[in-house]
């Protein structure tokens, strides 16, 4: 190991033989040779710093650079840098700057690690390959030099990373596409540049291909027939592309603003047949054009992003003008200010999805209707609304899946009014999620048999559902996240938990009467706040439950229920079931760790049943009570056969229970 090394003059040769030389700093090779014997079984040169190479020779060496290394190729601008029978493991930045060639000969392999770059900074780069020379790119090959013309011949190029040509042209005969299937890597061409594979063509794309800007060309793409499930084909910045024949999209086809993808006239987009567009994902900010486009049934994923996004037929007619069904695998999203007005009745299948992002609007105008709604009940479909959905509905029973995201999210009737203001039942198949500051006030009582999720966003935008009368929770889940709030008018009603689960880290502003079901603070460990009284009184269906998870003794690592009111556990002094669970690998101390798990203004009664960690048939926990709180101490559970610890627990536990 040495610090730095400089080799100059043609007669200078460093022969590593079979040794390893490590440089903590830089290497300079100017018209000199570094070699090892035997070739590819000889020495190793590892460089932590930078490498300055001018007309250098590397013969039979294993060369390793660090992630912080910079390799400056052809710095003198003269003759070639020559690498023969050498394995180069490059992990930093390699910069090809001069006018000379870069030659890889024999069994040389240049491997670019995932962190590595090979940057072409000269206007006329020549990369020569002879023998079995190869470049294996897991990082990035970059060309941004204006007017650059790079020619790489005779060297096999494998790309699992990124080849990014943003200026000039890059031409190579080293890329093969077996069977016409391009299966890996990212191939990006922008700013009118050209990536030329010298006659090699692909028919199927399973990689990522990106063309950005007018005139940007990837020559291998001209005969594409299929974008496979793993493939991404993206046009942006005004790029236009027309296929040579029919085309199938099973992956992601993305057409950005002002860009256009056209299936050549007389051929077909094979995803489309008999009015149905199926399979694949279409992210459209510009124009998708194909013959006969008249989609009535959507069974694929389509995003229309921005006012200029459109699907057109060969005559320029809107390809979604007669849309009437979003099928089970269908997904339609409006984004970035896109508006859409249905021209027929609309049906959204049970697992079909309609999304409307902020600033976008989807309208089903009169005389048309959304057929999921009938006689006060909305059935089926998944609706993610951050913008505006306008439909004729007054929903009393919800058996579909709705998310209202953000304070400006709206589902309203054509004449105005929230479609959920008269909601009184979330059925077993129903789900309602409010998040990121969306509030909802219903006009009467509310029954939850399905799923209700309230998730806070920014602190100045609390998420609240307000119920002026009773909230009846019989089954399903009410999930409070990040401080979400359920607010029940305490003068007229109560939160009546008879079944299902009330969980999360949020706020219940109500008197909670629990005759069944389970209260579980947090998602994992967390705090649930109850602003009102909490009564646990056994009902006809069993004991009301409380589930407490303990992940450790640090702040926020244990469940806690904070009650701004009185806690009554069983009207007769005993009621409810407490379940204690250790999570996230938490192991209590041998002497026991103590947690306050419930606190009120006053506490009455005790849990009838308590379950938790055990040592054989002996509890490794104990519960004790104060006038305001419920506390629990948990002890380490010993490995099998650890009788000493078992005895200690037996001695400690009775002492606690006498409090």
Position 127 in a domain = yes
What pLDDT does 289 receive? 98
Please give the angle made by the CA atoms of 157, 155 and 181, to the nearest 5 degrees.
35
Answer yes or no: is 439 within a domain: no
For every residue of 232-300, DSSP letters joined together read EEEEETT-EEE-SS-BEESSEEEE-TT-EEEPPTTS-BTTEETTEEEEEEEEESSEEE-TT---SEEEE
630 in a domain, yes or no? no
Q: By 3-state DSSP, what share of the chain in percent is helix, strand and coil, each rounded to 5?
A: 5, 50, 45
Query: What is the model's pLDDT at position 540?
Result: 61
Residue 468 covered by a domain: no
| 53 in a structural domain | yes
Q: Could you tell me how far CA 508 lies from the centroid of its own chain?
A: 31
The predicted pLDDT at position 650 comes to: 34
Looking at the domain assignment, is residue 498 inside a domain?
no
Say what the pLDDT of residue 39 is. Answer: 62
Q: Provide the 3-class DSSP secondary structure of residue 658.
A: coil
Q: What is the pTM of this model?
A: 0.89
Q: Determine contact, residues 211/234, Cβ cutoff 8 Å.
A: yes
The rounded distance, in Å, linking the Cα atoms of 475 and 410 is: 27
The CA distance from 212 to 40, in Å, is: 42
Rounded Cα distance between 426 and 448, Å, is 5
How far is residue 10's CA from residue 79's CA, in Å, rounded to a whole number? 12
DSSP state of 656: H
In a domain, 134, yes or no: yes
Q: Longest Cα pair distance anywhere in the chain, in angstroms?
A: 101
Residue 81 within a domain:
yes
CA distances (Å), origin 483, targets 318, 346, 456, 496 = 44, 36, 6, 20
Please give the residue range of the domain that contains residue 127.
1-175
- Residue stretches of the chain with pLDDT short of 70: 38-41, 75-78, 490, 492, 540-541, 638-659
Overall number of domains in the chain: 1
In DSSP notation, 14-61 reads: EE-TT-EEEESS-EEEES-EEE-SSTTTS-EEEESS-EEEES-EEES-
């Amino acid at each position: 190991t040495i610090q730095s090394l400089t080799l100059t003059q043609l007669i200078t040769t460093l022969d590593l033989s079979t040794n390893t030389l490590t440089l903590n700093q830089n290497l300079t090779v100017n018209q000199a040779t570094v070699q090892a014997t035997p070739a590819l079984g000889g020495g190793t040169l590892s460089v932590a710093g930078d490498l300055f190479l001018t007309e250098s020779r590397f013969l039979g060496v294993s060369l390793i650079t660090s992630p912080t290394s910079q390799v400056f190729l052809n710095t003198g601008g003269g003759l070639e840098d020559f690498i023969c029978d050498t394995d180069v493991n490059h992990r930093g930045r390699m910069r090809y700057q001069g006018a000379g060639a870069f030659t890889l000969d024999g069994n040389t392999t240049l491997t670019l690690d995932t962190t590595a770059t090979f940057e072409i900074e000269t206007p006329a780069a020549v990369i020569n390959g002879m023998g079995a020379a190869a470049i294996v790119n897991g990082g990035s090959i970059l060309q941004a030099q204006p007017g650059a013309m790079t020619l790489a011949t005779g060297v096999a190029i494998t790309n699992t990373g990124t080849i990014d040509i943003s200026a000039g042209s890059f031409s190579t005969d080293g890329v093969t596409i077996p069977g016409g299937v391009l299966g890996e890597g990212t191939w990006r061409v922008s700013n009118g540049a050209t990536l030329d594979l010298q006659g090699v063509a692909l028919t199927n794309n399973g990689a990522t291909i990106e063309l950005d800007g007018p005139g940007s060309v990837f020559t291998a793409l001209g005969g594409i027939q299929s974008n496979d499930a793993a493939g991404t084909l993206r046009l942006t910045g005004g790029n236009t592309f027309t296929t040579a024949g029919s085309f199938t999209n099973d992956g992601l086809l993305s057409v950005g603003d002002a860009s256009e993808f056209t299936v050549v006239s007389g051929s077909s987009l094979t995803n489309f047949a008999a009015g149905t567009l199926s399979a694949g994902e279409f992210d459209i900010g510009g124009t998708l054009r194909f013959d006969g486009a008249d989609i009535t049934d959507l069974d694929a994923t389509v995003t229309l992003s921005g006012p200029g996004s459109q699907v057109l037929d060969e005559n320029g007619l809107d390809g979604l003008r007669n849309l009437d069904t979003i099928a089970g695998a269908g997904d339609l999203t409006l984004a970035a200010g896109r508006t859409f007005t249905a021209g027929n009745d609309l049906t959204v299948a049970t697992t079909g999805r309609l999304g409307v992002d902020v600033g976008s609007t989807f309208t089903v105008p009169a005389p048309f209707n959304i057929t999921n709604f009938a006689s006060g009940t909305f059935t089926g479909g998944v609706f993610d609304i951050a913008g505006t959905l306008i439909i004729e509905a007054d929903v009393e029973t919800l058996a579909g899946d709705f998310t209202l995201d953000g304070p400006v999210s709206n589902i309203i009737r054509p004449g105005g009014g929230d479609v959920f203001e008269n909601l009184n039942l979330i059925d077993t198949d129903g789900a309602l999620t409010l998040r990121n500051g969306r509030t909802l006030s219903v006009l009467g009582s509310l029954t939850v048999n399905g799923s209700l999720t309230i998730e806070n966003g920014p602190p100045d935008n609390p998420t609240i559902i307000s119920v002026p009368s009773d909230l009846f929770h019989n089954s399903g889940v009410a999930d409070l996240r990040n401080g979400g709030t359920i607010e029940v008018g305490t003068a007229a009603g109560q939160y009546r938990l008879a079944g299902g689960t009330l969980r999360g880290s949020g706020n219940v502003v109500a008197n909670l009467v629990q005759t069944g079901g389970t209260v579980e603070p947090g998602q994992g460990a967390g705090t649930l706040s109850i602003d009102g009284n909490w009564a646990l009184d056994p009902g006809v269906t069993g004991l009301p439950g409380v589930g407490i998870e303990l992940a450790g003794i640090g702040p926020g690592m244990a469940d806690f229920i904070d009650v701004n009111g009185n806690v009554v556990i069983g009207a007769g002094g005993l009621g409810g079931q407490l379940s204690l669970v250790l999570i996230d690998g938490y192991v209590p101390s041998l002497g026991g760790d103590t947690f306050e798990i419930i606190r009120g203004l006053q506490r009455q009664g005790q849990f009838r049943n308590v379950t938790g960690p055990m040592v054989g048939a002996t509890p490794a926990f104990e519960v004790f009570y104060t006038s305001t709180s419920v506390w629990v101490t948990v002890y380490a559970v010993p490995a099998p056969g650890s009788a000493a610890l078992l005895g200690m627990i037996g001695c400690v536990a009775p002492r606690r229970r006498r409090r």
